[in-house]
Structure 1
Amino acid sequence: MNNMKKISLFVTLFIAPALLLCAQTTAPKTSKPPLKKAAAKPAVKKAAPVPAAKPEPAAVSAPAADPLAESLEKIKSTDREERRKAADYIGQSRNPKGAPALMAALSDDAPRVRQSAADALGMLTWREASPKLSDMLINDGDAGVRQQAAISLSYIMDQAAGPALVKALKDTAPSVRYAALHTLAVMKYSAAEGEMIGLLSSGDSNMRRGAISALGQLQSKKAAGPLAAAMKDSDQYVRLEAVKALGSIGDTSSAGELIKLLAPGENAQLRVEAAYSLAKMDMNDGLPVAYEYAKSADLSVRSQALNVLALAGDARTLQFIEELYTAEQDPAGKGMLDFTRQRLMLRIKTLQKK
């Protein structure tokens, strides 16, 4: 009985597992079905190339507008404002091709068109316009046109216009008289010297000032006496202009009256201008005044004082300028002083060579 149990235990422990292992190792393997090759994709046919579109022919651009040509058309317009603007443009273009159209516009029935045409011809300095402008200065019924004719003649600078300008000094419109006087001065029309001296007694202070300035530009020796008298005019600006004119003329016969204006009681501008006019006459009587105003806060007074020092100064003046230059902090002020110093050094060298 015991033997049977041992045999049964032996079978259970050793024989059964062995049989099971043999059964596993001898079992047929299940083979996987062979993989089918993927069918080749049919080749994709390339699309036929689309022919490139032919470029559209470039649009022909309209030719650029010619502003002068347009203005030459517009100056014939029935619209007076359009004609005026056209005349203005032609003048601003400075193109002489527009001069004939402007000459025709001087006879336009609209005063503002005539005025613009006269202005434009002045800007073109169109000398052929001088006779017509001279006639307009005397005969045009519009004061604005007459004034513009006088102004335009100052650009053209035709001495033949002198008689018409002299006649215009008696125009009823002050603006025309002023413009005519200014043009005579710019042209240095010496034939008008007598008329200019006569204007020193005008009741219009602006005409007196204008006449004095014109006589100064003419450097009229004949006017020295009347100009010296004008330094006592009731209008301070007339007096100032007379002082300047006498300096330009350089007639020392007026020096005594100029020296009187250096007195402390006079205003700064008049004093320093008198000193400058004396310096132009090679007189250094105004140096003390120039030293006084060389530090002025008024730039115009200071500038003129430095001009006096440059024209009439000496070695002492140069030292004075050097001291001012060292102390000056403002770059613009230093520049003014340096310029004065250079001028004065040149003056001193010139005097030493004599």
Structure 2
Amino acid sequence: MTQTLTHRLADPDPTVRRLAVMDLPYSEEDDIVPLLLPRLADDDAGVRTEAVRALEGFEQPEVVQALAPMLLDADAGVRKCAADVLAELKETASAAPLLPLLKNGTAETRAAAFRALRALRSPAAFDPAMRALRDPDAGVRREAVGVLGYLKNPAAVGELAEVAANDPDGEVRRIAIGALGYSTTVSVLPALVRALADGVWMVREEAAQTIGKLRLSPAIAELVQAMQDEYWQVRVKAARSLGWLKAQAALPSLVASLTHPVSNLRKEAVIALGEIGDTRAIAPLEASLGDPDPDVRKLARLALTAIGLTQRKPS
């Protein structure tokens, strides 16, 4: 490292120190970590923020150990930057310094720690995440549900279904519905069906998609009803799931959607009709060959081909 950069990192002016930290990743220094770690304790929040940001991608144990306490920094900007950087961790072993923060600190800190733990898939985060489903802070509950969704532990299915049905926060309910997508049991069906009538449209949207992912054909009637939802986004996911389920009972609703003003819904309806493969959809699909959206026209041709191929298959 040049003598100039050494002096800049120790300069009395915080602006000079901050710019020096920003320059470090572009310097000729082979190992910048030992130079950055002391700057995490800098008196200036701007310097600390840049030091945190510069350490992104370094997952040595000493780096993670030093970054974890930054979630408790007195400055909100530093805390946010640390949360963002820690959320990019990939090594499961990096979970250890984060776990103590789930018991201490503010709700903001607990939420950030859970967010960082999510992609690490550390089994040690399971029990804290289960307890956090009852946390008074909705932000903490959201991140805890995300951790459980990534861990895919069957032991969490019942609790997640309960949260999906009854949590007072709509976003928590939505995330819980999505997390149930790893379930292999139909026991989640009542919670998903109930979610199709949720007062928050994003929850209904997530439920419509999750039912299809799980191939829960007992919910076909409810998905057909969801094709009348006031939000086209919900209808899009319902159409997608009805196609996955090859639900012939959805034919009238899907055909009606071929003239909806939103092209995304028309596309999904065309795809679903092709997947269902019912010859009664041929005439409506042929009409879609004149759709103003070129993607709809292309998908209609593919759907007509799929129906033709389906009919040629031996029984």
TM-score range, shorter chain: 0.7 to 0.9
The 3 A distance-change label for structure 1 pair 121 and 268 is closer
Alpha-carbon contact 1:68-1:90 (below 8 Å) kept: no
Which of 170, 173, 187 is residue 137 of structure 2 equivalent to?
173
Q: TM-score, normalised by structure 1?
A: 0.68
Q: 1:118 to 1:203 in 2, by over 3 A?
A: closer
Please state how far the C-alpha of 1:286 moved relative to its aligned partner.
0.9
1:140 is paired with a residue of what secondary structure? coil
SS at match of 1:294: helix
- Contact 1:275-1:285 at 8 Å conserved across structures: no
Cα deviation 1:247-283 (Å, max 9, x = unaligned) = 2222333334444445x6x436355644543433332
Structure 1: segments with no counterpart, 5+ residues = 1-61
Match for 1:163: what amino acid?
A: D
Higher relative CO (CA 8 A, sep ≥ 6), structure 1 or 2?
2
How big is the shift at 1:172?
A: 2.8
The alpha carbon displacement at 1:291 in A equals 1.4
Once the two structures are TM-superposed, the CA of residue 151 in structure 1 deviates from its matched residue by 1.6
Aligned partner (choices 198, 202, 215) of residue 250 of structure 1: 215
Work out the CA distance in 2 between the residues paired with 1:343 and 1:149: 48
CA deviation after TM superposition for structure 1 residue 231, in Å: 3.0
Runs of 4+ displaced beyond 6 Å: none
Say yes or no: does 1:160 pair with 2:124. Answer: yes
Q: Which runs of 5 or more residues in structure 2 are unaligned? A: 6-25
Count of residue pairs brought into register by the alignment: 283
Residues of 1 paired with 2:263 and 2:95: CA distance? Answer: 41
- Tell whether the 8 Å contact from 1:107 to 1:114 is kept in structure 2 after alignment: no
In the alignment, which residue of structure 1 is the partner of 2:66? 104
Alignment of 1:97-246 (within 5 A): 99-108=61-70, 110=73, 113=78, 116-117=81-82, 119-136=84-101, 138-199=102-163, 200-246=165-211
- In structure 2, do the counterparts of structure 1 residues 306 and 333 end up closer, same or farther at CA, with 3 Å as the change threshold? closer
Deviation at 1:312, TM superposition (A): 0.8
TM-score by length of 2: 0.75
The CA deviation at 1:95 is 4.2
**Aligned AA (1:190):** P
Matched AA of 1:75: L
Q: 1:99 to 1:353 in 2, by over 3 A?
A: farther
2:53·2:85 contact (CA, 8 Å) conserved in 1? yes
TM-aligned CA distance change 1:296 to 1:150, over 3 Å:
same
CA contact (8 A) 1:310 1:344 kept: yes
Distance 1:95 1:226, change over 3 A: closer
Shift of 1:124: 3.6
Residues 339 and 88 of structure 1, relative CA distance in 2, 3 Å threshold: farther
Among the aligned pairs, what percent are the same residue?
24
CA contact (8 A) 1:209 1:237 kept: yes
Q: How is 1:329-348 mapped onto 2 (pairs within 5 angstroms)?
A: 329-341=292-304, 343-344=306-307, 347-348=310-311
Counterpart in 2 of 1:267?
A: 230
Contact 1:184-1:214 within 8 A present in 2 as well:
yes
Deviates more, 1:287-296 or 1:245-254: 245-254
1:289 matches 2:253? yes
Q: CA deviation at 1:178?
A: 0.9
C-alpha separation in 2, matches of 1:293 and 1:244: 17
Q: CA deviation at 1:188?
A: 2.2
CA 1:190–1:346 in 2, change beyond 3 Å: closer, same or farther?
farther
| Distance 1:348-1:180 versus aligned 2 partners, 3 A rule | farther
Q: CA RMSD in A?
A: 3.2
Report deviation, 1:166. 1.6
